[in-house]
Structures are given as C-alpha cells and as structure tokens.
Amino acid sequence: MRLGFYMGYAQPGTNPLALLELAREAEALGYESAWAAEAWGVDAITPLAWLGAQTTTLKLGTAIMQLPGRSPANAAMTAVTLDLLSGGRFLMGLGTSGPQVVEGWHGESWGKPVAKTREYVEIVRAIVRRERLEHHGEHYDIPLQGGTGLGKPLRLMARPLRAEIPIYIAAVGPKAVAQALEIADGWLPIFWSPEQARSVFPLEGARDAFDIAPAVPAVVTDDVESGRNALKEYYSFYIGGMGARGTNFYNDLFARYGYEAEAAKIQELFLGGDQVGAAAKVPDAFVDEVALIGSVERIRDRLAAWRESGATTLLVSTRHAATLRGVAEAAG
C-alpha cells in the first residue's frame, strides 16, 4: 500500500505555501504523491504547478478538479501542460462536487452527474490522445451544433508527454462508484472503513492495477481521545453541512455504514446552527473506523486492516509534519 499526502485546500485566511512545505517534507519521507483540492477558494492546479517546480519525484494529483469549473477541453489542456512541466508526474482527479457548489458557485445545473462524468472523461481522453475532437452527447456538444456554424473539430496543438494521463474519479454513491471502477484508472473515496468497505462498495468490479486511494485523516498523538475529538468537527461538517437536507451524499454514506439515527441528528443540529453539538454527536466508533489516530504503534497495528481492505494508496490527510513522519514510520 503506497503513501500519498492529501494536502486538501488552504483554509480561509491561510496561505497554500504552508501545505507545499509539508508536501516537500512528504517527498523526503518517501511519500509517492501529493494531492490538492478545491472548493470555492484556492484552486487545485496552481499549488501543484508551484509544487512541481520544487520537487522531483512526487506525483501531483488533484482531489479534485471540479467538473463544472472547467470545460473538458480546458481540463485536458491543463492536465497536458502540468504533465509536461513535471516530467509526467500529473494524476488527474475529477469530481462533480455537489449541487450546492455546482449551482451556487459555478452557476450550472446539477443535472445528471454520473452520465456527465462519463462524457467528460471520454472527451478528456480523446484530447490527450490528440484525436480530432468531435463529441455529440447529452451533456457536451463539440463542435457546437446550431451555433454560428464556424466551429470545426480541432486537435490538441500541444504534444503530450503521455498518450494516457491517469484519471481518478471521486465518487460516493453506488452508481457513481461502479462507473469510476469501470472508466477510470483510480478512485478517490472518502470515509473509507476497512471493515465495511467491501460490503458497502462494489470493489469486486476493480480491475487489475486499479488504484483505490482513500483520503484518511490522521493524528499522531498519545492522547487518542483528544485526537478523535479534533477530527469530529471535520466529519460533522461533511455529514451535517455539506449539501442540503435530503441531498447530502456524505450523510447518505454515513447512514450506509449503519449510523442512520446519528446521520439525521448531526444534520439536524448542524443545519440548525449548532455546529458544536453536531460534532459531539459523531460517534467515537466511526472516527476510529475511518481515521488513523494514536501513537505510531497504534497506527502500525491499525494499518494491517487498511492493507487488507482493498485500498492500494493511503492519502494521509494532516496539517502536521509530525503526523506525516509518524505514519511513514508506522507504514515502513
């Protein structure tokens, strides 16, 4: 099981330079990849370009590039450019985000995200292969029909370093996960439970060499309870506040893990303005399942379950160099 560093995105009021310093530390520790995210603040690509210029072996992944934020052609151009600049180190993580961001930030219709993702990936792959681009689907019409009539199929001017850039898809729902296993080179799951993953997700559909790379919050500490509590705000934000009542995929996944009553209560409290109360309702047992918390020895023991769960890359999510070092030691 490989190690990657999940940088995420810079929190409000912070500079992404701090994350890049941690990523350079991760490279020195033997981590294979670093992954940048985006929501509605810092984007995912700019920090990776900056990081690529300061590293030599670290693979540069997006977790994720939001589909509504870029046309498939723009995303493909960006991927090819960063792959060229980094000497073939780019990993293209894609995801739809949720309706709150798609409609509230990008101003696009939520629509049919599973079908849209399939078309998006098809177009990106065709561009990277330098095929003349012609795609007439339900979601993308290229060249546009019914416009000026001046559009014509184009071929990428740049010469990609690779004919295939690895594509990872972030997916949560059963249909989206099944499609990711079918059309992508890797999958970026969230809330990965080693004990329940095989019963909750259709992992039997994963092909040979398919990379399952869950992001895993980690805290190296001698005070397990304190480490657990430090992560509950993060989980309650996703379970309770990421999305709307009735449309929250993280809440749905939490419920599928057997926490239906807790899922409803956390969302009720969070959307009612009681974020502290929502965090307090996140069960200790859930945090222990899906995160790595404790001493190096405790994490070393816990990693055995992760290796057996089907995960092939562990994306360590932390803001602390000591935790990066501790997990590397535990995994070594």
The region that residue 208 occupies, defined by phi over 0 for left and psi between -120 and 50 for alpha, beta otherwise, is beta
Phi, psi of 60 (to 5 degrees): -115, 110
pLDDT in tens, 272-324: 999 999 999 999 999 999 999 999 999 999 999 999 999 999 999 999 999 99
Phi, psi of 98 (to 5 degrees): -120, 170
Q: How far apart are CA 38 and CA 36, in angstroms?
A: 7
Q: How far apart are CA 330 and CA 326, in angstroms?
A: 6
Given the structure tokens 């370093």, which residue do they identify?
161
Are the C-beta atoms of residues 17 and 6 closer than 8 Å to each other? no
pLDDT in tens, 246-260: 888 899 999 999 999
Residue 247: the pLDDT is 82
Residue 86: the pLDDT is 98
Phi, psi of 313 (to 5 degrees): -135, 135
Residue 245: the pLDDT is 84
Are the C-beta atoms of residues 160 and 130 closer than 8 Å to each other? yes
Q: How far apart are CA 220 and CA 215, in angstroms?
A: 16
Are the C-beta atoms of residues 67 and 120 closer than 8 Å to each other? yes
Cβ–Cβ contacts within 10 Å for residue 224, how many?
16
Q: How far apart are CA 26 and CA 3, in angstroms?
A: 9
Residue 98: the pLDDT is 87
Cβ–Cβ contacts within 10 Å for residue 150, how many?
7
Residue 100: the pLDDT is 85
For the chain, the residue count is 332
pLDDT in tens, 127-167: 999 999 999 999 999 999 999 999 999 999 999 999 999 99
Within 8 A by CB and 6+ apart from 217, the residues are 231, 234, 290, 291, 292, 317, 318
Alpha helix (H) ranges present in 132-223? 174-183, 197-200
Nearest CA-CA partner of 1 in 261, 164, 154, 214: 214
pLDDT band at 263 (very low <50, low <70, confident <90, very high): very high
pLDDT in tens, 15-37: 999 999 999 999 999 999 999 99
Beta-strand relationship, 135-136 and 141-142: antiparallel
For range 193-198, the mean pLDDT:
94
| Three-state secondary-structure class, residue 313 | strand
The structure tokens listed for 304 are 């055995």
